[in-house]
Structure 1
Amino acid sequence: MKELCSKILTATDVGVRFSFPTATMREHFKLLEGSQSLDFQVMDKYSKVWTFRLYTRKNDGHPKPVLTKGWLDFVKRMGLKVGDKVIFVLHGNHNDHLGILVKRNIKLLGSEHWADFFM
């Protein structure tokens, strides 16, 4: 498994749209010429497939990619909160499948730990 990117969720990420890392978008997602969006699928740890739309705003060479379609449904169904961490990964025999992991920061005996998230 190879990590593409990870992000600690903000209020905007859980309430409006997920601000996707620009460098990851440029390296792993190829938008068609003239297109501002791309639908893609990810699989969670329960083998459920989610479809997200990666949308870029045309803004002086700074695309500011965001996840729109499907993202808020994922947040709601997974019960995500501000401060949780989302990790996009490549997995499969040839790192050809996109996955999504969720971690929650918990305090245990005075230390913080990122624990696997269970619904």
Structure 2
Amino acid sequence: MKELCSKILTATDVGVRFSFPTAAMREHFKLLEGSRSLDFQVRDKYSKVWTFRLYNSKNGGHPKPVLTKGWRDFVKRMGLKVGDKVIFVVHGNQNDQLGIQVKRSIKLLSNEHWADL
């Protein structure tokens, strides 16, 4: 298993769309020439498969990838909040199976720990 990217969620990530890290998009996703979106699937720790749409808007000529379709349903069903962490991981020999992990920060004895949701 290899971590593709991780991000601590912002208000925009939770309320509107997930701003996907550009470097991770370039590394793993190959958008077809002329295409600005790509649907892909991830599996959570419960083996539920989620389908997200990666939309690559161009803002001043620079790519600005976001997750649109399927993301808000995921947020709602998982009960995600601002400050939670989302981690995309790659499984498999050919790096073709994606997984998603979600964690929440909890403080124990003045130390921060990330607990699985």
**Cα deviations by residue, 1:64-87 (Å, 9 ceiling, x for unpaired):** 100000000000000000000000
Once the two structures are TM-superposed, the CA of residue 63 in structure 1 deviates from its matched residue by: 1.1
**CA distance, structure 2, for counterparts of residue 15 and residue 60 of structure 1:** 24
Once the two structures are TM-superposed, the CA of residue 95 in structure 1 deviates from its matched residue by: 3.6
**CA distance, structure 2, for counterparts of residue 59 and residue 110 of structure 1:** 41
Once the two structures are TM-superposed, the CA of residue 94 in structure 1 deviates from its matched residue by: 4.3
**CA distance, structure 1, for counterparts of residue 94 and residue 40 of structure 2:** 18
Once the two structures are TM-superposed, the CA of residue 116 in structure 1 deviates from its matched residue by: 1.2
- What residue ranges of structure 1 are gaps of 5+ in the alignment? none
- What residue ranges of structure 2 are gaps of 5+ in the alignment? none
Q: Which has the higher strand share?
A: 2
Alignment of 1:55-70 (within 5 A): 55-70=55-70
The alignment covers a number of residue pairs equal to: 117
The TM-score with structure 1 as length reference comes to 0.94
Tell me the residue number matched to 1:9: 9
**CA distance, structure 1, for counterparts of residue 32 and residue 90 of structure 2:** 22
Percent identical? 87
The one-letter code matched in structure 2 to 1:59 is N
Tell me the residue number matched to 1:81: 81
The one-letter code matched in structure 1 to 2:55 is Y
